[in-house]
Every structure is written in C-alpha cells, then in structure tokens.
Amino acid sequence: MITIKELASICGVSISTVSRAMNGREDVNPETRKAVQNAAKKYGYVPNTAARNLKRPPSRTIAVIVQGETSPLLMQGLVKLDESLRTEGYEAILCHVSDRRANVATIENLIVGGHYSGAIFLGRYGDDDGVQATELSKSLARMKVPLVFCTTKDFSGSSLRHPSVSVDDVGGSIRVTKHLIEQGHTRIGFALINPHVPPESEHVWMLRFQGFKRALREHGIEPDPDLEIVAVDHSQPYSMANAYASTMHWLESRSHDYTAIVSSCDAVAVGVIRALNDEGIRVPEMVSVTGFDGLDFGRYANPSLTTLIQPIDLIAKYTVSSLLKAIAGDSPTPPHHAVEGEFYLGESTAPLSRDGD
Amino acid sequence: MITIKELASICGVSISTVSRAMNGREDVNPETRKAVQNAAKKYGYVPNTAARNLKRPPSRTIAVIVQGETSPLLMQGLVKLDESLRTEGYEAILCHVSDRRANVATIENLIVGGHYSGAIFLGRYGDDDGVQATELSKSLARMKVPLVFCTTKDFSGSSLRHPSVSVDDVGGSIRVTKHLIEQGHTRIGFALINPHVPPESEHVWMLRFQGFKRALREHGIEPDPDLEIVAVDHSQPYSMANAYASTMHWLESRSHDYTAIVSSCDAVAVGVIRALNDEGIRVPEMVSVTGFDGLDFGRYANPSLTTLIQPIDLIAKYTVSSLLKAIAGDSPTPPHHAVEGEFYLGESTAPLSRDGD
DNA sequence: CTGAAAGCGCTTACAG
DNA sequence: CTGAAAGCGCTTACAG
C-alpha cells in the first residue's frame, strides 16, 4: 500500500494535487487528474481512510453493532435499518463483535475510530448478567454518541438511558398464550428457561416467560413449574438443537400432563415440535405449540407455526427516527418504544380435543 | 468526545503523559496514571482509533467481509473463522456491506482505513455478473492486501487470483443426485434456476445445477428442461419464500412427470417441500426432495432433509491457514481448495415406489 | 517519571 | 490550476 507522498513523486506533482485529483475535484487540470487517477489504479493507491477521517467532518454513517449470535431476524432488521437510513441520507455499516465477552473498549474503539454519526445496537449486547451492557451504555452516554437500542432495551437503568425500540415481548407472549387458553388449553408449558436467572432480568426469553405466566394467571391458571422446559445448555437459549435436546430430556424425565407449549421463539418451537414428533406426540393433534418472531422457517415448516410476527420494518423505522432525533440533539425521545406484534395463526395449534389421551 | 489535548489540560499534564497513562504503560507515576484514567472515564475520553492507527503498527485484526444477504451458514462460518483466528493470535471483525451494488471504493476504504492484517471475503461478493467482484479482486491484489475468499471463489480469473476455500459444490451435488438415482429415481427436477445466467458462471446454485446434470448424464439420463423449477424472483435464488412461490407456479403451469427434486440449498428445499405438501404431494412418499448445506432448520424439519453438510469448520480452518500464509508472504497457496461435503440421509428421500401414482 | 518535538497520511484554506 | 504549510489526534523515541 503506497502513500500519497509516493504517488505524488511518481506523478511529479505535489501531494495537494494528488489529494484533489483523488477526490475528483474540479479545480485540477483534467489531464493531471486523469494521470493521477490512472497512476493510483496502477500502483494500487487508495487514500488511507483513517488519515482522511482525521481531517474530514464526520461521515453520515451509522455503526450498527451486533454482538454474539446473529439470527435471521437481526439480519432482516439490518436490511430494514439500512433502507430507512438510506432514505435519510445516511449509510449503515454493520460491526459484528463475535466474542460475547468482548470488552467495552473494543466497542468504544470501533465507534470512536469510525467517524460515525451515531450507533445502533442490534440485538442483545453484553454478558449474561448485563454488567458489560450497563458499563458500555454509560460510557457511550459520556462520550455523547447518539445511540439507540434496537430489538432490545438499554440495560443501564440509569438516568443516562438511551432510547430503545423493540417488539412488546410481554404483550406478545400474553397474546399468544391467550390464544391457547381460548382454544381450551389449561395445562400449558413453556420452553426454554433458565431457572438461575432472576425474573426481573430483561432477557427476551424472560420477558416472554413473564408474559406467559401473566396470561395464565389472568385466566385463573396457576403456572406449573413442572411444565417449564429447562434448557440443557444455558448458553444457547434460542437454539433449535438445544430446544430439541432439552425437550427430549424433559419428556424422558417423567410423564407430564399438558396439552400445549409456548416457546420463547420460532427456533425453539421447531426444536420442541421435532422432539414431540420423535416421541410419537403429534402436533397439533395431541399437543399445540406456539413460536415467537414470525420467521420464514416457521412459516414454511410442517406444521407451520402459530406465532407472533415481529414487525421488524416498523421497529427499524422507529429506531432510525429516534436516532435522527438524538443526532439532531432534539428533545429526549421516550426511553422505550414497544411495538405491537402481529398474531399469526399457523397449523401448530388446535382447539383442545375432548378425547384426552 | 473530547481529545487528548483537552484531557491533558484538565489533568494538568502533557499529552505524552495522557497517552502513556491511557495505554497503561509502566513508565508513568502510578498516581498520575490513575488520575488520568479516572478523568478519562469521567469525561468520556476514548483515544481516537483513527489517529492511533496512524502511528501504530498494523493490528492483528482480520476484516471479514460479508456482502448482501447473510445466511445461517455464513454466520456459522464467521464464528469458526473467529475461533481459528483467535488461536493464531488474530482477531476477526465482521464488516457487512448491505448494498449489493456497493461500489468497490467502499470496500477498499474499509480495508485501508481499518489497519487490518488481511481480509476474508465470506460468501459471494459483487453484482450478479461478477464485474465488481473482478474489479475488487484485482484492486486488492494491487494493494497487496492478504486476502482469501471463503465459501466462494475468486472471480477475477486473472493471474492475480487470491486463494479461495469452499465446499466442493459440483461434487456435492453429484453425490446427492446419485443417491436419488441409486434409489431408483430417474425423473428428477432441480430448484431453483435462472435460465438467463450462462452455465459457466460460478454462482453457487449454478455449480450445484451443473453437478446435478453431470450426475444424471453419467447415469445415462438426459436432463429434462421441463423439470427445472425457474425462480419467480431472480434476485432471491436462495429464499424459502421464493422457492415456495416458484414451485407453486411450476406445479400450476402443467402436470409434470417426476419423482424427485434436487434443491440448490436447504432453504429452497424447505420451500419446495411445503409447496408440494400444499398441493397434496407428500414427501418422501410421492416425491423425494434433497437439500444442500446441512443447516439446523433442515435437520429439525419435518421431514428432515436429506442433504450435503458443509464442513464449515474445516472450510474456516483452511481459510485461516491460507490467509496466514499470504500474510507471511509465503509461497502461493493453491488457487482453490475444494472441501468434500458430508452426505446426510434424512427423511425427505425414499426409494422410488413401484405403485406409480 | 515527564515534556517538547517529530511524524503517521491525509485535506484544505492560503498564496501564487 | 498548483504548491507550501498548517493541522487533524495520536504515539514514541529523545532529552531531561
């Protein structure tokens, strides 16, 4: 990688001229410009972005930060965010941090170095106890980086709260559970949970679990801990494979008296259904199962999933408008915007049959 | 975001001292160090990465570039790449470029500014005709950036070829098709294709389509164009929804004489199966269907998919070792490394039944 | 242990 | 139309 200096001496001009030519400015002799550009191509010269950013005003680019596992939903969200930002004259760039234990500094560096106008956190950030998420949220507030949480909440819990947008997890779970109750089910289980996590944690599965229990209680049904399918592997609360294994384990441990299972997400529902199938329990004839998210693989599955569709385009739209307000330094947006999900009736649920097996 | 200068004056020390304190160096008075670090925290000071990179030697970070749609497979690949790189003392950072028409400059800037030791292209890059991919590949070669294509090939076709690693698409497709033939099938269709794309293109679906046809011919079966399921939407060759719609359209157009369908990937297979189901055609009893990739949703689907598992961990491992060689400036690695896939027998295929419906 | 100074690779007024 | 110069925010020998 050669530098502007080397290219300048190759072309026999000053670095100012090279810079102008590379930026396609009008105030250069067209021939000179062409010559420089050709030389750049020939020698593989590309202006160093880092150096460039030092002088230029912040670009209209937004860092979208995803940490840990991605999911089709987040990827859909990314596309929608990108679209929304684009219509506002911004660009999105995804920064994925694989390591769930990535320290706060990694993210900070990403944001500070990148010359972004703002940042969006897509999906959950931080370790499981939320300590890192809190620290990061505070730190970014001090740095005065415009920031919005998308699909998740700000865990900092302080007065520094950044705005956030996500589906109404609790309400959505209530909606889905109610459907089962309306269909006559009363013995309803939930998959997947981790009993070691405190109920006030804001994990997505926990919010949905809380909604599930609330719906039951509202209908006078006391949740039965025996019908909670505990994850075999607590590090993978949303994995099909883990849902399958956990359900198998639950089924083997003893015989349960249930007619429906609410799942924390579509992936878990697919794993649950497959496990039931493998044990000869047919869905929805013998047991009804619901999902949450509204992903393609649930829609085209057999049976297709009764689920709650996340209006990801709306979520993205609200996220972007919150962010733009933050960038403009406008009045504080509401701390959290919960978007209603859309109930979808699939084939994985059916009215309680009276023949009781 | 305050700068080093401002923090220095706040602390009443020189910028040199601030710099040293922020980098946690030993040659600072411990008290001074602590004071500076506390002030940094308080005022939200984070050293500007761009400026920092200008002085520091290249970091041991690898840019993993994904462009356009992602897939669970690519995300798995990312995790594996990250693991492999980590054991070598490198770090991976994913740069996702949503826009399929993103120009070459965007990528170049990403790489040049980021201070990376090298880059990995994960999944297909560029517009559909491969023009951009070629241009970018050449450009990166001129910039002398160590680069490996993962899960795809270098399309530049020139002597500048970068190494690439991917599953043996043609061989894998032959393997899967052969299985159907061994089961007695001779009337075998393929989903999804785009008839406007030249056969020598290296699209993944095209490579698999070619393998499919080769397997048929090797067994004396002439491929029947009537059994090619053409995509309704050519921009989404690997989408479940598109596979469903395209298969529906194909089924409606007229009645076909077939007993099996090879799909270009698992997602397409799921869409195909669902469409067949919806038309009362049961899988595998009446028609066998195969996938390709070996993803979770195919494994836990009903019926589970007969497919070819991509050994993504091996692919990642070879990619990393190729990249390390390139970084070391070692002898040129072989231009392309094709990794054997692993055949998986699921429930979506069955021997040809003699009762012919 | 600390500071003044050079310099990383650029861009952009400022002169000419 | 072009070049010399200042400066973006850092790091790091070099003196002290």
Domain residue ranges of chain A, discontinuous segments joined by + = 4-43, 56-166+312-339, 169-310
Query: Fold match between A56-166+312-339 and A169-310?
Result: yes
Cross-chain CB nearest to A43 (options B51, B142, B300): B142
B27 touches strand C (CB under 7 A): yes
Distances (CA, A) of A314 to A151, A191, B70: 11, 27, 21
Give me chain B's average pLDDT, please. Answer: 88
Q: Which of the residue ranges A15-19, A333-337, B99-103 would you say has the lowest mean pLDDT?
A: B99-103
Would the CB atoms of B240 and A301 count as touching at under 8 Å?
no
Residues lying close to strand D (Cβ under 7 A), chosen from 175-234 of chain A, are none
Confidence of residue B136 (pLDDT cuts 50, 70, 90): confident
Tens-digit pLDDT profile for residues A251-262: 998 787 899 999
The pLDDT of residue B357: 45
The pLDDT of residue A270: 98
Min Cα separation B221/chain A (Å): 32
Judged by C1' against the alpha carbon of B47, the nearest nucleotide is D10
Neighbour count for residue B221 (Cβ, 10 Å): 16
Look at the domain B56-166+312-339 and name its fold. Answer: Rossmann fold (3.40.50)
Of B13, B7, B10, the C-alpha closest to B32 is B13
Q: Which of the residue ranges A122-131, A199-208, B116-125 would you say has the lowest mean pLDDT?
A: A122-131
**Where do the DSSP E strands lie in A249-331?**
260-263, 288-290, 307-309
Mean pLDDT of A103-114: 70
Nucleotides of D under 7 A from a protein CB: 1-5, 7-13
Neighbour count for residue A331 (Cβ, 10 Å): 6
A217 touches strand C (CB under 7 A): no
Is the model's pLDDT at A350 over the cut of 90?
Answer: yes
pTM comes to 0.88
- Between residues A49 and A216, which one has the greater pLDDT? A216
Mean pLDDT of A294-319: 97
- Between residues A107 and B323, which one has the greater pLDDT? B323
Q: Give the mutation candidate from A297, A305, A327, A347 for the B interface (greatest B CB count, under 10 A).
A: A297
Distances (CA, A) of A267 to A72, A168, A203, A271, A272: 10, 19, 16, 6, 9
CB burial string B65-101: b at 16+ within 10 A, e below? bbbbbbbbbbbbbbbbbbebbeeeebbbbbbbbbeee
Q: Which structure tokens are listed for A41?
A: 């191509």
Judged by C1' against the alpha carbon of B54, the nearest nucleotide is C8
Give me chain A's average pLDDT, please. Answer: 88
Is the model's pLDDT at A5 over the cut of 70?
Answer: yes
A54 touches strand C (CB under 7 A): yes
- Between residues B87 and A201, which one has the greater pLDDT? B87
Mean pLDDT of A57-66: 82
The pLDDT of residue B184: 96
Tens-digit pLDDT profile for residues A271-282: 999 999 999 999
Question: Which residue has tokens 């070691």?
Answer: A196
Q: Cβ contacts (< 8 Å) between B302 and chain A: which residues? A: 273-274, 277, 301-303
Is the model's pLDDT at B334 over the cut of 70?
Answer: no
Mean pLDDT of A298-308: 97
A346/A307 Cα distance (integer angstroms): 7
**3-state DSSP call for residue B36?**
helix
Class for the domain spanning B169-310: alpha beta
Confidence of residue A100 (pLDDT cuts 50, 70, 90): low
**Which percentage of chain B shows pLDDT scores above 90?**
57
Min Cα separation A89/chain B (Å): 14
Of B167, B192, B175, the C-alpha closest to B270 is B192
Tens-digit pLDDT profile for residues A182-241: 999 999 999 999 999 999 888 899 999 999 999 999 999 999 999 999 999 998 899 999
The pLDDT of residue A127: 62
Mean pLDDT of A305-318: 97
**Where do the DSSP E strands lie in chain B?**
61-67, 91-97, 118-122, 147-150, 164-167, 188-193, 228-230, 260-263, 288-290, 307-309, 336-339, 342-344
- Between residues A67 and A80, which one has the greater pLDDT? A80
Cross-chain CB nearest to A274 (options B41, B43, B302): B302
Find the closest chain A residue to B1 by CA distance: A143
Burial (CB count <10 Å: 0-12, 13-18, 19+), residue A191: buried
Would the CB atoms of B99 and A82 count as touching at under 8 Å?
yes
- Between residues A123 and A1, which one has the greater pLDDT? A123
Query: Of the ranges A124-138, B103-117, B268-282, which is most confident?
Result: B268-282
Q: Which structure tokens are listed for A278?
A: 């493998």
Mean pLDDT of A143-166: 79
Q: Are A122 and A66 in contact (CB under 8 A)?
A: yes
Q: Cβ contacts (< 8 Å) between B105 and chain A: which residues? A: 46
In order, the DSSP letters of B61-92 are EEEEEEES---HHHHHHHHHHHHHHHHTT-EE
Mean pLDDT of A79-106: 78
Mean pLDDT of A316-327: 93
Judged by C1' against the alpha carbon of A14, the nearest nucleotide is D3
Q: Give the mutation candidate from B38, B46, B94 for the A interface (greatest A CB count, under 10 A).
A: B46
Would the CB atoms of B1 and A144 count as touching at under 8 Å?
yes
Cα angle A70, A75, A76 (rounded to 5 degrees) comes to 145
Q: Are B110 and B139 in contact (CB under 8 A)?
A: no
Would the CB atoms of A240 and B75 count as touching at under 8 Å?
no
B343/A178 Cα distance (integer angstroms): 43
A122/B131 Cα distance (integer angstroms): 32
Q: Are A117 and A90 in contact (CB under 8 A)?
A: yes
The pLDDT of residue A102: 59
